[in-house]
Amino acid sequence: MEGESILSHEEEEEETAKQDIHAKLYFWRRDSSSELYLGSLNSTYSAFNGNVELVLRLKTTRRRLDLDKLSKDLFLG
């Protein structure tokens, strides 16, 4: 994404600010569930408490989403 639009409430003019957006992928396993998080969120205090971030959470059972297989397919080819 080359940029995002920002509206100025004072001037009512549209400005474009360049933003570097690069996705992260997090895997989480707990008991019989698997969770996959995909988005712009970094693992920092600012990301959780101030930045504008987008994260998609996919949650299902381990039987339906094998995170070990997905990891091998993605990173080991």
Q: What is the DSSP string of 15-57?
A: EEE------EEEEEEETTEEEEEEES--SSHHHHHTS---EEE
pTM of the shown model: 0.60
CA distance 5 to 7: 7
Instruction: State pLDDT tens for residues 12-70.
Output: 555 656 666 678 888 999 999 999 999 888 888 887 888 888 889 999 999 999 998 99
Q: Please check the confidence at residue 10 and state whether its pLDDT lies above 70.
A: no
What's residue 19's pLDDT? 62
User: What does the DSSP 8-state code read for residue 71?
Assistant: H
What's residue 4's pLDDT? 47
- Select from 22, 60, 14 the least CA-distant residue to 41: 22
Residue 33 backbone dihedrals phi, psi, to 5 degrees: -110, 155
What's residue 61's pLDDT? 95
Provide the residue ranges of all domains of the chain, joining segments of one domain with +.
Answer: 23-75
